[in-house]
Amino acid sequence: MSVNKEIKKITTHTIQKMKDAGEKISMITAYDYSFAKIFDSAGIDIILVGDSASNVMAGHETTLPITLDQMIYHASSVVRGIERCLVVVDLPFGSYQGNSKEALSSAIRIMKETGGHSVKLEGGEEVLESVKRIEDTGIPVMGHLGLTPQSIYKFGTYTVRAKEEAEAEKLKRDALLLQEAGCFAIVLEKIPAKLAAEVSKSLHIPTIGIGAGGACDGQVLVMHDLLGINTEFKPRFLRQYLNMGEQVTGAVKNYITDIKSGDFPNENEQY
């Protein structure tokens, strides 16, 4: 009897079926081969190669400085580490806002040069033409509404968005427009849980929340936050699953001590 070892890959269609079946979608960020491999074998549904790489990998204050070439480097490393999950790659600031032709050529570079499966971009009505043009080319697009970090200098703060009626109404409209334009899912970042619940119910495509409450169809967190690598960032919405920063510090301290004392390497650790 032959065993079918074919791996069931997660596609945008799987993600839609999950929403239809009421199954929650899990998403995490990753930026390199090794972590992507761990998250994929742990069973994550989606890996987002976020432009948060600008913060957590490069140490910038905002997501604005990261370039398309740098995103391509991170995304292609992630893709080499995965076997089954869906990979979404952020279009970085400045690579799609100019016009829809620029947006399409950035999306095409990501697809050709990384092997990723889809792109994500921030904004609603303002980016609709780009979303349509990318979608029409056969590239799946994930939207991103609410706190969109590429607009941080316009917002002036990282606090909760769409608390006021006018902004909430625009967000609801934008979500429907993105769905109509062909987005396969939308990230809702840092908005009131009640609004996220309303948006999630009004859409047939899935919503993925970050700081947007439990009624979203899925959840996403930045890996450095949930693993406790970045311990300075402690927003209310974050659940930290590991104290990796502390554990790594302890391990490296032991390593230093062992080198200084001459304990490492011992007889069994040499040739």
- Answer for which of 40, 51, 217, 225 binds ligand KIV (CB under 6 A) is 51
Which residues 12-41 are close enough to bind ligand KIV by CB under 6 A?
Answer: 29
What's the closest the beta carbon of residue 112 comes to ligand KIV, in angstroms?
Answer: 21
* From 31, 47, 82, 90, residue interacting with ligand KIV (rule: CB under 6 A): 90
Q: Do the Cβ atoms of 120 and 49 come closer than 8 Å?
A: no
Closest CB to ligand KIV among residues 54, 179 = 54
Tokens of 145: 């509404």
According to CB under 6 A, which one of 12, 26, 52, 230 is a site residue for ligand KIV?
A: 52
Name the segment binding ligand KIV (CB under 6 A); options: 47-55, 79-87, 124-132, 162-170. 47-55
Min. distance of Cβ 130 from ligand KIV in angstroms?
17
Report the nearest approach of ligand KIV to the CB of residue 204 (Å). 21
Exactly one of 189, 198, 232, 246 is catalytic; name it: 189
Sites for ligand KIV among residues 128-187 (CB under 6 A): 187
Q: Which of residues 190-229 bind ligand KIV (CB under 6 A)?
A: 210, 220, 222
How many residues bind to ligand KIV according to rule CB under 6 A? 11
Establish whether 189 is a catalytic residue.
Answer: yes
Active site residues: 189
For binding to ligand KIV (CB under 6 A), which residues are involved?
Answer: 29, 48, 50-52, 90, 187, 189, 210, 220, 222
